[in-house]
């Protein structure tokens, strides 16, 4: 009996050793997958990475009743694209520090809907901001690639007023030397007929009294028109039922008309530049090719 039990234990030991020499081989799982799905996932990952890596811009969320942004005729959802010609991706505090520098005027590039334009600010805007979404940020980046920003010295400030019939009155805020040397000609240039009639009447009355009275009157009126020419133009534009619409910074009046037409295609001007309608239609066709087939 002892020999039989010993033989059984030896046999079990041999069988276990044989089993260890032949381990069970597990098949590797099938890793084949659709190549189209992989490409689509890769493209989605790249777009998501672009959205994450793109730095956002500041967008106006609220305008206070009395603030510089409201005086500059900014609106809610206007996006601050660039400051002094450089794209701005900073925080609200950084923008306030830049605009708060003493005796500094800043050139701000604004995006309103699909239109980019410039304004000049002499201090913080005093508005509330929020950050743009990743999709909005990419749209701004793409539109900024086709927008040219000139040095700030190339820009002039224009006040744009508009009546209910969408007729636009563009006021150049730069002083004109014509108002100093030849006030009647300056009045004719800006179609200030009421002021022209009063001025000529004063000239005739003073000339009938004495030549030196006429000379003094001429100098005094020239000083008045030279000092208050922007206020006079603005007042008579409001007197003619126009209302403030925009304040822009642009190199010339032609650029102002283009921006106005982009913001309101139905607006009109007293002296519209040639080819403005055709240029805007061509630009719309490039931006929206589907509209050309309608």
* Domain residue limits, the chain: 58-154, 159-285
Model confidence at 67: pLDDT above 50: yes
Most confident stretch, 8-22, 37-51, 85-99: 85-99
Q: For residue 179, what are the CA distances in angstroms to 78, 184, 198, 202, 206?
A: 36, 8, 16, 17, 20
pLDDT digits (tens, 9 = 90+) for 204-259: 999 999 999 999 999 999 999 999 999 999 999 999 999 999 999 999 999 999 99
Residue 147: exposure state from Cβ atoms within 10 A (0-12, 13-18, ≥19): middle
145-149 contact pairs (CB < 8 A, 24+): 147/109, 147/116, 149/82, 149/85, 149/107, 149/109, 149/118
Q: Which superfamily does CATH assign the domain made up of 58-154 to?
A: PDZ domain (2.30.42.10)
pLDDT digits (tens, 9 = 90+) for 3-15: 444 445 544 544 4
pLDDT digits (tens, 9 = 90+) for 103-114: 889 999 999 999
Between 99 and 16, the more confident residue is 99
**Mean pLDDT in residue range 12-40:** 42
pLDDT digits (tens, 9 = 90+) for 156-182: 999 999 999 999 999 999 989 999 999
The set of residues, in sequence order, having a beta carbon less than 8 Å from that of 70 and lying 6+ positions away, is: 63, 64, 127
Model confidence at 140: pLDDT above 80: yes
């Amino acid at each position: 009996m002892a020999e039989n039990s010993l033989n059984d234990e030896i046999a079990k030991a041999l069988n276990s050793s044989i089993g260890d020499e032949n381990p069970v081989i597990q098949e590797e799982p099938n890793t084949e997958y659709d190549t189209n799905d992989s490409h689509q996932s890769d493209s989605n990952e790249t777009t998501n990475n672009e959205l994450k890596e793109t730095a956002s811009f500041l967008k106006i969320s609220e305008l206070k009743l009395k603030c510089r942004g409201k005086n500059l005729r900014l609106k809610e959802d206007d996006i601050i694209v660039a400051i002094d010609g450089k794209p701005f991706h900073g925080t609200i505090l950084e923008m306030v520090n830049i605009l708060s520098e003493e005796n500094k005027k800043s050139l701000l590039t604004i995006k309103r809907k699909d239109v980019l334009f410039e304004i000049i600010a002499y201090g913080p805007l005093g508005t509330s901001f929020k950050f743009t979404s990743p999709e909005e940020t990419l749209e701004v980046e793409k539109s900024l690639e086709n927008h040219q920003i000139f040095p700030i010295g190339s820009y002039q400030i224009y006040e744009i007023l508009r009546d209910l019939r969408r007729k636009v009155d563009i006021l150049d805020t730069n002083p004109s030397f014509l108002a100093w040397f030849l006030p009647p000609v300056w009045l004719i240039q800006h179609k200030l007929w009421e002021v022209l009639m009063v001025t000529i009447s004063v000239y005739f009355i003073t000339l009938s009294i004495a030549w030196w009275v006429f000379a003094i009157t001429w100098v005094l009126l020239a000083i008045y028109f030279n000092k208050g020419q922007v206020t006079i133009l603005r007042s008579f534009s409001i007197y003619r039922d126009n209302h403030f619409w925009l304040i822009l910074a642009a190199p010339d009046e032609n650029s102002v008309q283009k921006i106005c037409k982009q913001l309101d295609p139905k607006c009109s001007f007293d002296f519209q530049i040639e080819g403005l309608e055709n240029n805007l239609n061509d630009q719309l066709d490039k931006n929206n090719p589907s509209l050309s087939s309608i």
